[in-house]
Amino acid sequence: MAMLEWFLVLGISAATILVHGQSGDTMTPTKSIVDGQTLISAGGTFELGFFSPGDSKGRYLGIHYRGTPDKTVVWVANRISPLNGSTGVLNLTGDGNLALLNSTGYIIWSTGTSNAINPVVQIVDSGNLVLIEGTSKNLLWQSFDHPSNTLLPGMKLGWDLRTNVDRHLTSWRNSSDPSPGDFSYKIHVNALPELFLWRGSVPIYRSGPWNGRGFNGIPEMQTNNMFWFNLTSNEYETTYTYEVQDNSILSRILLNENGVVKHLVLYRPKLKWDLYWQHPEEQCDEYAHCGANNLCSTSYVSACDCLRGFSLKSPQNWRLRDSSDDCVRRTALNCSSDGFFELQQMKLPDTSNATVHSNKSLEECEDWCLKNCTCSAYAIIEGSGCVTWTGDLVDIRLFTEGGESLYVRLASSELGQIRGNYRKKKLVIVIIISSLAGFPLLVCCIRLLWKKNKKRKQGETLSIHYRESRGNELELPLFDIHTIRTATNNFSEDNKLGEGGFGPVYKGQLEDGEKIAVKRLSKDSVQGINEFTNEVLVIAKLQHRNLVRLLGCCIEGEERLLVYEYLQNTSLDYFIFDSKRSAFLDWQKRLDIILGVARGLLYLHQDSRLKIIHRDLKASNILLDEELNPKISDFGTARIFKVDQIEENTNRVVGTYGYMSPEYAMGGIFSVKSDVFSFGVLVLEILSGTKNRMINQAEACVNLLGHAWRLWIEGRCLEILDEAVGCAYPESKILRCIQVAFLCVQERSENRPTMTEVVLMLSTESALLPQPERPGFCIAPPLMERDSSSSNKLTVTIEGR
């Protein structure tokens, strides 16, 4: 464009601005957008305008959320061509080309469209910028077809097979430079579509194949009720998209500059993005972390272990901690006599060497694979049918929940060895049944099992969950006592983190530098062995970001040790009940902790493979990581419920005074509503910074709940708020939290909400709250017995009626 033409355009643009002002949500050829002007979607969710990211001096045209922190950017037009200064102009030509021009009139970005009649540009509430033909309403161009680093609900990721266009995410170079970085996130079409994260041309993460509900390697997709996921694969396209089912929630999937894919959610009108899931998150998320024919699990000491029937190709590399080495078959296959070994709860292998046989049943799939000598494994995937693999099995892992069954081909002699181990596995069955039923035989069984494993080398795993002869052991690393003593400096007092009702907890560090927390069960505790086994059996099956992660255990002589991930900020009570440390917890952080605990409990009650009642939820059992995110711990008193079970009665009540519901403390009846009661107490403690104990000794039964209830009925409940919160807090949200807490601690269990309802009430301002009834705040102290193994905490054991 000649300079004269540029001045004419600029003159027309300036005149248009003076006449029309801001442009609403649409732009026609009679309008232009200059720096300082924006297009705003009709619902006010998204805005198109100029911006400078981070400390950059360049100007970019992009789309961002309105009313969110830092005006979160979701799309950038001129990623590789920043404007110098604020002289850029966005024009729409009469024939339908949307173009961004710099101060010299040079087009630095455009849609490249033409031959349109009455074109119109509009930003819609989905975050999509669309260019349509005004008369026919035909779509000429849309920003959703040209993603930056963000996937929004309704946006397609994948291939348009008619135009051979690949819609994928690319990271920013850094927080100040939106130009394409080193990482990309895209649909890769092998036998089945999978999401791959790439660094250049090197794969660093794989989602697993689509299984009809989500991607097989992303368990969070399988157990959610907030999102709807869809994959379309036909002759025209192979694309993945998702939708949010609750309009009060904003959601985005971000590929950040460090190569991490994060699914972020924001609960309106909250002004903070929460992490829903992220990948890669741990070493087993790394593509082929363990090499071919290896099984990766966070429960293993070394993370990797060869599949059944396979052994290390190079044991020397393994000893040097090179876990990427391949595993090879111990016994050569014989096509006429081979069989299959079932592995359950698996992330299925890379499908680049797989084939889909859509119309075959499980039996037909097995038969086909048996007759084809090159077939090394098969699986049945919902919506796809029979999938078979040839050659090596790459990038597989074991989940604690979710996943699919994979059937691996083995020589008949290898299968015979597995069947020969069946009797040994019966011992594990006895242990599990005994622990769940509480039989005295449990102690003897564990000691017998320990003697059989005592001479095995360090790093060998103890199977704590029986599977039938065709597979699926849930394995937990078994540490030897020498390793634990070395890590904790022989249980030095300097390494002692604290002490609970069943023994002390020590900080430690393994040889590879990983920090751990070791729970050493007291030898004097009558409940020690029951608590130990129960905790292992329960928490080893759980996987949630708001639950503490069990790394392994140690059984040797009189020692019973549990090895957990180390959380440097210890427990919640260390902060909220201390006048100085409580200052670290402002209102938003306290709300985040409350929501995190709520989601952890929801997972235990509803979303995990097991239905679990914690029975001892309290501030000292909520651990905090380096960012003060909460993780529920101490599952020694937890109980597993059947899916349809409502409640249970026990003769032996265990828990902590002040947190137990009335029906549990007085009658031994517990249910999910018992945990809801404890959660309500915890919420009031977090808000007030006060323990639920007697506040006024002159008035019987006036503890925190009684005191707070009195303030509630007098309309003065904000007086319970901890002074450390300061003055900067939203009064309406505080009142909502307090009301939810009172709903949780109502005296009658049937009146209390479920944790599903609690999470909804805390997350959604529009959710209507019923008026709470009188809380069950008085439990007579004479009924309590002090547990001698407890330190400064009143843990109770009551004989139920």
Q: 445 near 425, Cβ under 8 Å?
A: no
Q: How far is CA 235 from CA 159, 196, 529, 582, in A?
A: 11, 21, 60, 59
Q: Which residue spans within 280-348 are E strands per DSSP?
A: 294-296, 304-306, 310-312, 327-329, 339-347
Identified catalytic residue from 350, 392, 395, 616: 616
How far apart CA 699 and CA 551 sit, in angstroms, is 47
In sequence order, which residues have a C-beta less than 8 Å from that of residue 363 and are 6 or more positions away?
A: none
Residue 622: closest CA among 635, 637, 607? 635
- Write out 275-306 in H/E/C secondary structure: EEEEECCCHHHECCCCCCCEEECCCCCCCEEE
Residue 552: closest CA among 325, 300, 232, 257? 300
Does the annotation mark 722 as catalytic?
no
Q: 400 near 296, Cβ under 8 Å?
A: no
Provide the β-strand partners of residue 461.
Answer: 477
In sequence order, which residues have a C-beta less than 8 Å from that of residue 771 and are 6 or more positions away?
A: none
- The three-point CA angle 211-212-214 to 5° equals 70
Residue 114: closest CA among 78, 142, 140? 140
How far apart CA 486 and CA 340 sit, in angstroms, is 42
DSSP three-state, residue 235 = coil
Q: If you ran DSSP here, which 8-state letter would residue 767 be given? A: S
DSSP three-state, residue 741 = helix
Q: Give the DSSP H or E segment for 252.
A: strand 249-255
Name the pairing type of β-strands 294-296 and 304-306.
antiparallel
How far apart CA 645 and CA 643 sit, in angstroms, is 6
For 609-671, give the DSSP string: SSEEE-S---GGGEEE-TT--EEE---TT-EEE-TT--EEE-SEEEEETTTS-HHHHHH-EEE
For 372-386, give the DSSP string: STTEEEEEEETTTEE
Q: 693 near 656, Cβ under 8 Å?
A: no
The residue type found at 20 is H
Residue 712: closest CA among 745, 689, 756? 745
- Tally the residues of the chain: 801
Beta-sheet strand order (sheet of 202-209)? 169-174, 177-189, 193-199, 202-209
Q: 386 near 355, Cβ under 8 Å?
A: no
The residue type found at 435 is S
Residue 704: closest CA among 687, 725, 727, 716? 687
Provide the β-strand partners of residue 328.
Answer: 311
Would you please indicate which residues are annotated as catalytic (active-site) residues? 616
